[in-house]
Amino acid sequence: MALDTRTDRRPSLAATLWGSSVGKKTVMAVSGLIMLLYLVVHMIGNLKIFFGAAEFNHYAHWLRTVGEPFMHYGWTLWLVRVVLIAAVVAHAVSAYQLSRRDIRARPGKYVHRKPRASYATRTMRWGGIILGLFVVWHLLDLTTGTVHPGGFQEGHPYQNVADTFSTWYGNVVYIVAMVALGLHVRHGFWSAAQSLGVGSRSRDRLLKTTANALALVLTVGFVSVPVAVMTGVVS
């Protein structure tokens, strides 16, 4: 007689958390905050373009030498990229799965019309898609130079940025994406606070004010670069 050697295996804690809506929302919140931190640092770095080509190009070179001699040339930058890619993938997958779960839970239309949500809330999904497509274009433009106008110059980011924003379509794509980013941050920051249990009635006003301020600062900070090129402040 054959013995049944099968044993009931309980799912791991990580699998249990990931399988729950709370776990997915937590992953979205943490990964979103990682990306938000990157955006703040990236925006500050972008603003160095107002100090001239030498300053901006030196900053771009410095990014590749951070940690030397302990870290090899470019390793720290690649480490940041790997963490950022992991955060983007985790954020996108959890958002997609939560969206599908929400649709399955509500297959029919509401009998009573729900109150209209804010514009940022209603466009979170489309905003995420717009930002995803923008990141691909942005990398092909200013990292690989594949779609860059005017001849990509390796090691000369100042000139590459000026070239991109000397075209009407470069400005349109970038500004539309940054507006979508601002709306995404505005709603996402507040949602992340709720998912992580930080939100409360006493803190909601502060959290919403912080979300609005972050969204405004990031949008204005990023958009100021193409506007500066268009107006001749940066050339």
Give 210-223 pLDDT, tens digit per residue: 999 999 999 999 99
Closest residue by Cα to residue 147 from 163, 158, 159: 163
Place of tokens 């993938």: 89
pLDDT higher than threshold 80 for residue 224: yes
- CB 32, CB 192: distance < 8 Å: yes
pLDDT of residue 119: 53
pLDDT higher than threshold 60 for residue 180: yes
pLDDT level of residue 151 (50, 70, 90 thresholds): confident
pLDDT level of residue 12 (50, 70, 90 thresholds): confident
pLDDT level of residue 191 (50, 70, 90 thresholds): confident
The string of pLDDT tens digits covering residues 40-54 is 999 999 999 999 999
Rounded Cα–Cα distance for residues 179 and 184 (Å): 9
Give the CA count within 13 Å in the CB-facing half-sphere of 79: 11
pLDDT higher at 18 or 168: 168
Place of tokens 């606070």: 193
**Cα Rg of the chain (Å, integer):** 22
Rounded Cα–Cα distance for residues 185 and 120 (Å): 9
pTM: 0.85
Contacts of 160 (CB under 8 A, 6+ apart): 142, 145, 148, 152, 153
Closest residue by Cα to residue 40 from 227, 230, 229, 220: 220
Residue 78: both structure tokens together = 């690649």
- Extended beta strands in 20-127, E state: none
- CB 229, CB 165: distance < 8 Å: yes
The 8 Å CB, 24+ separation contacts for 214-220 are 214/36, 214/40, 214/185, 214/186, 214/189, 215/182, 215/183, 215/185, 215/186, 215/189, 216/182, 217/43, 218/39, 218/40, 218/43, 218/178, 218/181, 218/182, 218/185, 219/178, 219/179, 219/181, 219/182
Rounded Cα–Cα distance for residues 140 and 36 (Å): 22
Place of tokens 């100021």: 224
pLDDT of residue 178: 96
The average pLDDT across 149-156 equals 88
Contacts of 119 (CB under 8 A, 6+ apart): 183
The average pLDDT across 21-26 equals 88
pLDDT higher than threshold 70 for residue 112: no
